[in-house]
């Protein structure tokens, strides 16, 4: 007789069988997909701007309560695919300056606020202090934002800042089911690299009409390239190059902990699209992650990883020699040798020179929503880009909030750096490498927000969950 797998729901505090509840969860997900497709092709495309986020939230709540593992997968895929769904809707019925559909991922992630509110009192004793500190910092910024800024930008900022923290807290608090969550992450990001990577290559070669339309309407030519075949910087199904680079950086590093026949086709399209992002920051983060993973595991696992790297290189390198791919990649790589002449590097350096003293002298902060402004003519929420997560923290949270937020993040990094479980569990090693390499990029980007923030906080939380799981196993 085969025993059924039993997992634990941290919110309802009850055990459940994922095998018994999976049909219900998949029916809910299938219903959501079917409704979206029917609306799109049956003349109700414009209505999807409201129907899509509302039904995504309903399905998320159902999965959160009934099947937490499926909820995690649903959340990641809503984050990965919603921007593409939004572009398809815009292409069919016209540009929406409010970007209403893009609220769906934030709503789905914010369901985990229930976990935080229910468990934060006991979380301190379980090792959850880093999340509590970060929450205090963001909540302070929220209160200041209510005083200085308009309500809509404040709400938008709260979703950006708080979502990654509460999602990561939810992952950590479910440490008892770490093996299932680990397997879930590996499966999600394997398919993510394969599907998003393949679409990224298609986007670069073909330049689909809906992607061209989005690029023309958004006017992000400086950061996303030209709306022509072989002219775009790849952002795949995401809404810009930066988030896609963060997702692929994490996914490609996580592939080293995964086995199966899909690894090599996923690697081929994944690395190719990753190179076509031309995102040097993420390239550097990937390299740092590789060094950290190889340096933290046992010799046997090191040899396996090195073998995988060599095989992947054999698969990917020939693809990068094909024109015009080789020209795009080589031109971007050459900028590493002459950063002083690079416009992007100069702009970031000037931004630091101009804003660092202002940010550090901002004791109280400007509050959440300070980088979001409502255009009175179009009704669109427009963002003021700050090319540094560090500057963004001090401008938004001030010294008081930034000390709590950075204190929580630094404490989290210090904790995971001490773990020895990465020697035999390559997932913990990879999760730690992904989190720390993402944190180093905060110097030149606000990688603590939105989907990039979910990767930063989420993978560090998974490393913490793995450590706590193994410590508990040793005791019993």
Query: How much is the pLDDT for 376?
Result: 54
Query: How much is the pLDDT for 381?
Result: 53
Burial class (CB in 10 A: 0-12, 13-18, 19+), 20: exposed
Does residue 92 sit in the same domain as residue 230? no
Does residue 300 sit in the same domain as residue 407? yes
| CA 251 distance to own-chain centroid | 10
Does residue 106 sit in the same domain as residue 116? no
pLDDT by position in tens, the chain (length 476): 344 677 877 777 778 787 888 899 999 999 999 999 999 999 899 999 999 999 999 999 999 999 999 999 999 999 999 999 999 999 999 999 888 999 999 999 999 999 999 988 888 888 999 999 999 999 999 999 999 988 988 999 999 999 999 999 999 999 999 999 999 999 999 999 999 999 999 999 999 999 999 999 988 888 888 999 999 999 999 999 999 999 999 999 999 888 888 988 999 899 999 999 988 899 999 999 999 998 887 887 788 788 878 877 787 777 777 777 777 777 777 776 666 666 666 666 666 667 777 777 778 888 998 875 655 555 555 556 666 788 889 889 999 999 999 999 999 999 999 999 988 999 999 999 999 999 999 988 888 999 999 999 999 999 999 999 999 888 76
Does residue 186 sit in the same domain as residue 301? yes
Rounded to whole angstroms, the Cα distance separating 261 from 185 reads 17
Does residue 88 sit in the same domain as residue 151? no
Query: How much is the pLDDT for 109?
Result: 98
Does residue 27 sit in the same domain as residue 160? no
Q: What are the distances in angstroms from CA 249 to CA 61, 72, 106? A: 29, 19, 22
Query: Any idea which residue has 């995690």 for tokens?
Result: 72
Select from 111, 135, 165 the last residue of a domain. 111
Select from 56, 78, 111 the last residue of a domain. 111
Q: Give the residues across from 15 on adjacent strands.
A: 8
CB–CB of 367/147 below 8 Å? yes
Query: How much is the pLDDT for 39?
Result: 96
- Secondary structure (DSSP) of 30-45: HHHHHHHHHHHHTT-T
Rounded to whole angstroms, the Cα distance separating 364 from 361 reads 9
Does residue 101 sit in the same domain as residue 243? no
Q: What are the distances in angstroms from CA 327 to CA 48, 99, 331, 333, 390? A: 40, 34, 6, 10, 34
Domain that residue 140 falls in: 112-334+341-475
Rounded to whole angstroms, the Cα distance separating 108 from 461 reads 19
Does residue 97 sit in the same domain as residue 242? no
Does residue 56 sit in the same domain as residue 79? yes
DSSP-derived 3-state class of residue 288: helix
Query: Any idea which residue has 């923030």 for tokens?
Result: 453
Does residue 197 sit in the same domain as residue 167? yes
Cβ atoms within 10 Å, residue 224: 21
* Number of domain units in the chain: 2
Does residue 143 sit in the same domain as residue 81? no
Does residue 133 sit in the same domain as residue 271? yes
Select from 111, 132, 167 the last residue of a domain. 111
């Amino acid at each position: 007789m085969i025993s059924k797998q039993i997992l634990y729901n941290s919110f309802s505090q009850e055990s459940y069988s994922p095998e018994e509840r999976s049909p219900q969860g998949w029916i809910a997900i299938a219903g959501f997909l079917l409704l979206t497709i029917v609306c799109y092709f049956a003349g109700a495309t414009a209505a999807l701007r409201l129907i899509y986020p509302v039904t995504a939230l309903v399905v998320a709540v159902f999965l959160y309560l009934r099947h937490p593992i499926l909820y995690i997968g649903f959340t990641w895929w809503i984050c990965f695919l919603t921007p593409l769904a939004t572009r398809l809707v815009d292409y069919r019925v016209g540009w929406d300056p409010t970007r209403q559909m893009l609220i769906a991922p934030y709503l789905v992630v914010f369901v985990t606020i229930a976990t935080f509110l229910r468990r934060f009192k006991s979380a301190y004793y379980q090792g959850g202090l880093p999340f509590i500190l970060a929450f205090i910092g963001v909540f302070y910024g929220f209160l200041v934002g209510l005083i200085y800024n308009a309500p809509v930008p404040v709400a938008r900022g709260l979703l950006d800042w708080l979502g990654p923290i509460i999602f990561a807290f939810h992952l950590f608090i479910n440490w008892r089911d770490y093996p299932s969550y680990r397997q879930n992450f590996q499966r999600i990001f394997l398919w993510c690299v394969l599907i998003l990577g393949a679409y990224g290559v298609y986007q670069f070669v073909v330049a689909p009409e809906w992607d061209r339309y989005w690029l023309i309407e958004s006017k992000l030519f400086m950061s996303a390239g030209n709306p022509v075949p072989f002219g775009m910087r790849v952002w795949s199904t995401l809404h810009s190059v930066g988030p896609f680079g963060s997702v692929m950086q994490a996914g490609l590093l996580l592939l080293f902990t995964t086995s199966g026949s899909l690894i090599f086709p996923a690697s081929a399209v994944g690395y190719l699209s990753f190179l076509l992002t031309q995102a040097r920051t993420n390239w550097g983060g990937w390299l740092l992650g590789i060094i950290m993973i190889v340096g933290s595991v046992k010799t046997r696992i090191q040899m396996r990883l090195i073998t995988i790297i060599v095989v992947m290189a054999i698969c990917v390198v020939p693809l990068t020699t094909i024109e015009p791919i080789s020209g795009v990649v080589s031109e971007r790589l050459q900028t590493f040798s002459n950063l002083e002449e690079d416009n992007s590097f100069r702009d970031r350096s000037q931004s630091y020179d101009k804003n660092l003293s202002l940010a550090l002298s901002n004791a109280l902060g400007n509050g959440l929503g300070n980088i979001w402004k409502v255009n009175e003519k179009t009704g669109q929420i427009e963002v003021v880009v700050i090319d540094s997560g560090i500057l963004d923290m001090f401008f938004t949270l001030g010294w008081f909030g930034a000390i709590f937020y950075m204190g929580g993040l630094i404490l989290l990094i210090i904790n995971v750096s001490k773990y020895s479980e990465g020697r035999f569990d390559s997932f913990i090693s990879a999760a730690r490498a992904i989190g720390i390499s993402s944190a180093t990029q905060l110097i030149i980007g606000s990688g603590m927000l939105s989907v990039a923030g979910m990767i930063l906080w989420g993978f560090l939380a998974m490393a913490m969950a793995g450590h706590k799981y193994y410590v508990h196993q040793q005791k019993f």
